[in-house]
Amino acid sequence: MSALETSDAPQQGSIIRPYGDTTGDGMVQMSFTLPLPHDKKAEGAALQLARKMGLDPALLVHAKAMGPDFTFFVVYGSSTHLVNLDDVHVVEREYPLLTAKDANLAIKKHLRRKLVVVGACIGTDAHTVGIDAILNIKGFAGEKGLEYYREIKVVNLGAQVLVPDLVARARAEKADAVLVSQVVTQKDAHIHNTTQMSAAFREAYPSGQVPVLIAGGPRFEDGSEKALGVDRIFGRGTTPGEVASYLVHEMTQRKARKS
Amino acid sequence: MSRPNAMLELDPTVVRKARSLARKAAAPVVKIAKSHTTVSVERATLRLAGLAGADHERVPWVNHLVTAVRDEVGLEHGVTTPVYDALLRGEAPDLTTLAQKAASGNVSFRLPAGREAAAAQRAAAKGVGVGLRTVDRSRATRDRLVKRHGDPKTKPWIYLIVATGDIYEDIPQAQAAAREGADVIAVIRSTGQSLLDYVPEGATREGFAGTYATQENFRLMRAALDDVSKELGRYVRLTNYASGLCMPEIAALAGMERLDMMLNDSMYGILFRDINPIRTFVDQRFSRQVHARAGIIINTGEDNYLTTADAVEAAHTVTVSQLLNERFAKEAGLEDWQLGLGHAFEINPEIPDSFRMELAHAMLARQLFPDAPLKWMPPTKHMTGDVFRGYLLDGFFNLVGAMTGQGILLVGMMTEAVVTPFLSDRDLALQNVRYVMNAAGGLTEDFHPPRDGFIQTRARQVLSEAVDLLERIVGDTDSAGDAPLLAAIADGTFGLMKRPATGGKGLDGVFERAAAYDNPAITSLDAWTPPAKGGRR
């Protein structure tokens, strides 16, 4: 019970354990399947796995055969692991969230023209849900999409756009920013497609003039912008307002750097 | 299946008006479909004539042969006349050899005239007739197997998806799903196959988020499901996709390999894949004619309208699409029992009365199309990753399905939008369906929405919005003088996507038919009528 005492001490508030119904109980629940017929041995195996995952004590609350060869388990238990918040590093949003009105004003003031955004699902990906949520006027989570912004011109190329076509269209439209959406992740397709895209842009544009490259999708790793060659990654749950705010921020920064 | 009574008390004159508007919208497009052909229709015809296989670079022989004929004499007269003329002239002993020689430019094609043309067309009719007879035989085999093993004991049929990318992984998964209770197995296609202008060959093990539709994959999976049907004493159906640039060819292969259902929507490819509208309507008519003859149930894709637009505001677009799909299907010879018209449970669960509206929409579809099986599709748009909430939402989806007598129920996964379903997700999802059907399957008997209550009013409102939209479509015009439906598609009437008749993928594969156009498959399909009642429900 020493862990519990430590986490109770006020100066140690940076140590965190899961919360079931009591501070410091560390309780978690999980479910998984083992490729075993349901018997005592399978249940023992499930408990052993839970213990190896750091649940102690582990409670096997449900076990059910799924056909002759598999068993499904639900396990509850107290996690022995501690998380030190001081060691947790995340990317915090470094720009202010703007309303549509403020974003329009800022674009008008700093750019003195419309900001041009070209969006597409590239590669074989046909899932336009993400890009449409950000671009379509309909929007997402109660926020209107970028099409709604008076000072943003949106060119949504839709699904399965080839990278060369995307580059050509971005040049033709004099795009300030290019948004690509990648939902399909089988065999790391999202990573291959995105790196291919960013390389193509770097090849086609003089250095320093590449549009803001943004990749969106549920499975990009936080902080992997460099590896992918893009300026920004947006993950699950991103709203159009966040993207617009980022674009305004990035465009003003770029402009400041140039002048 | 107990036919629901007129529970919504819809005005029959409004229903009649909706149907006649759909007919009016479809007619000029059908005319276009009957006066054009496409590379894919011609390739499908050659596939029916038995031409299969591909070169060492996996380019199918049908593509080689159609390209060669197109380049030399054009496709306006159909591919079969010049092809069979070449065979009669002794250019090659059979179609495959002819295609091989054509691929290397060693055959010259011509348009025969007079007696030579008649001879070529007779030979073509004989050749293509072989494939059509295979389609007929497959239908007879299905009828026999359904009689032997039996249909599922209860409705709706439980529809489960398999999608590993590897046909040899799909097979055991599909068999396991059938053992767990699936009545219909759908093998999702590899992402992007719809935009390939050829059908891949052979058994495939490399797909993205799905498995390629190939003739060999069809055959392997159907055989595996035949085994499991025998084991379970219930005929397990197989579904694939007749959509995209190769819609007619896939339909022909499905007919020959005895697939049981095919996804086949009248406008999906145009709106969501940016395939040329004319190409789509021409390809679609041919594929639907094949499906009609093959006894295949089509599944339409109305769920897509609701995932891209708001499910309340756009509810009437589903009804409009169902009516158009019905019209195009009937025109192509499909019968009511073959119309798995789609609709989906996609209303934002945060808004008040969302369940009541879902119920109203589902009942409207049920009542407008009383003899169609209807395909009920689970929530996807509002599945957030909170799998627990998702499981509840799927339960409510199942409840609507139980209360409105749906024919086909696509089982919702709580891990929708999270991962490809785990084995356990499927098991839990099927438990969800079984519980709801068991607990509430009989509710259709007790549940009648009160007169002029919320549900009746909502259903009437959606129907009247649908009629308004159909009226707008029928009255639509553009400067090019296109058919009103094409003009409507061009100006973004559907789902805000603007798709002009002169744009989109696959337009270069569309040809206006010449007066002397001959396609023995189309001639035979046009003349075909469904077998007399009795064999089917």
Would you write out chain A's pLDDT as a tens digit for each of its 259 residues? 444 444 444 445 799 999 999 999 999 999 999 999 999 999 999 999 999 999 999 999 999 998 888 999 999 999 999 999 999 888 778 899 999 899 999 999 999 999 999 999 887 766 767 787 788 776 676 677 898 898 999 888 877 788 999 999 999 999 999 999 887 777 788 888 999 999 999 999 998 899 999 999 888 888 889 999 999 999 888 889 999 999 999 998 888 887 6
Task: Please tell me the predicted confidence (pLDDT) of residue A9.
Answer: 43
Take residue B333 and report the two structure tokens written for it.
């010879």
Alpha carbons B524 and B252: distance in angstroms, whole number = 14
Task: Please tell me the predicted confidence (pLDDT) of residue A4.
Answer: 44
Which one from B155, B260, B283, B375 is the annotated catalytic residue?
B375
Residues written for chain B: 537
- Say which CATH architecture domain A2-87 belongs to: 2-Layer Sandwich (3.30)
Specify which residues A63 forms β-bridges with: A73
User: Are A160 and B385 an interchain contact pair (Cβ–Cβ within 8 Å)?
Assistant: no
- Sort B523 into a burial class: Cβ within 10 Å, 0-12 / 13-18 / 19+: middle
Specify which residues B237 forms β-bridges with: B184
Q: Which are the contacts of A105, defined by CB distance < 8 A and separation ≥ 6?
A: none
Alpha carbons A127 and B409: distance in angstroms, whole number = 23
Residue of A nearest to B380 (CA): A129
B424 touches chain A (CB under 8 A): yes
Task: Please tell me the predicted confidence (pLDDT) of residue B467.
Answer: 98
Alpha carbons B484 and A46: distance in angstroms, whole number = 63
Element containing residue B13 per DSSP (H, E): helix B12-34
- Concatenating the DSSP letter of every residue in B107-175 gives -------HHHHHHHHHHHHHHHHHHHHHHHHHHHHHHHHHHHH---SSSSEEEEEE--S-HHHHHHHHH
Domain boundaries, chain A: 2-87, 100-258
Q: What is the DSSP-derived secondary structure letter of residue B54?
A: B
Compute φ and ψ for B416, nearest 5 degrees.
-50, 135
Specify which residues A3 forms β-bridges with: none
Torsion angle of C-alpha atoms B71, B72, B78, B80, degrees rounded to 10? -110
Q: What is the DSSP-derived secondary structure letter of residue B195?
A: G
B36-38 and B510-512 beta bridge pairing? antiparallel
For an interface test with A, the pick among B275, B386, B424 (most A C-beta atoms closer than 10 Å) comes out as: B424
Take residue B368 and report the two structure tokens written for it.
């407008």
Q: Which of A31, A67, A187 sits opposite B176 (nearest CB)?
A: A67
Q: Does residue B250 contact residue B242 with C-beta atoms inside 8 Å? A: yes
User: Are A187 and B417 an interchain contact pair (Cβ–Cβ within 8 Å)?
Assistant: no
B310 touches chain A (CB under 8 A): yes
Task: Please tell me the predicted confidence (pLDDT) of residue A26.
Answer: 96
pTM of the model: 0.84
The CATH fold assigned to A100-258 is Rossmann fold (3.40.50)
Question: Which parts of chain B register pLDDT below 70?
Answer: 1-6, 308, 417, 495-497, 533-537
Q: What is the pLDDT of residues B278-301, one digit of tens each?
A: 999 999 999 999 999 999 999 999
Take residue A224 and report the two structure tokens written for it.
């992997």
Distance (Å) of CA B284 to CA B36, B77, B265, B292: 12, 20, 8, 12
For residue B204, give the nearest of B193, B191, B213 by alpha carbon: B213
Q: Nearest CA to CA, how far is A97 from chain B (Å)?
A: 23
Q: Does residue B50 contact residue B302 with C-beta atoms inside 8 Å? A: no
Alpha carbons B453 and B457: distance in angstroms, whole number = 6
- Tally C-beta pairs within 8 A across A and B: 59
User: Are A70 and B423 an interchain contact pair (Cβ–Cβ within 8 Å)?
Assistant: yes
ipTM: 0.82
Rg of chain B over Cα atoms, rounded to whole angstroms, equals 23
Alpha carbons A171 and A173: distance in angstroms, whole number = 5
3-state helix, strand, coil in chain B (%, to 5): 55, 10, 40
Please measure the distance between the N-terminal and C-terminal CA atoms of chain B and give it in whole angstroms: 10
Chain A residues within 8 A (CB-CB) of chain B?
A: 31-33, 64, 66-67, 70, 72, 123-126, 128-129, 132, 136-138, 158-160, 184, 186-187, 189, 218, 236
Take residue B380 and report the two structure tokens written for it.
């996807």
Q: Which are the contacts of A199, defined by CB distance < 8 A and separation ≥ 6?
A: A229
Q: Would you tell me how many other CB atoms lie within 10 Å of the CB of residue B521?
A: 30
Three-state SS string across chain A, please?
Answer: CHHHHHHHCHHHCCEECCCCCCCCCCEEEEEEEECCCCCHHHHHHHHHHHHHCCEEEEEEEEEEEECCCEEEEEEEEEECCCEEHHHCCCCCCCCCCCCHHHHHHHHHHHHCCCEEEEEEEECCCCCCHHHHHHHCCCCECCECCHHHCCCEEEEECCCCECHHHHHHHHHHCCCCEEEEECCCCHHHHHHHHHHHHHHHHHHHCCCCCCCEEEEECCCCCCCCHHHHCCCEEECCCCCHHHHHHHHHHHHHHHHHHHC
Count Cα neighbours of B121 within 13 Å in the Cβ-side half-sphere.
Answer: 18
Rg of chain A over Cα atoms, rounded to whole angstroms, equals 24
Chain A partners within 8 Å of B165 (Cβ): 186
Count Cα neighbours of B368 within 13 Å in the Cβ-side half-sphere.
Answer: 36
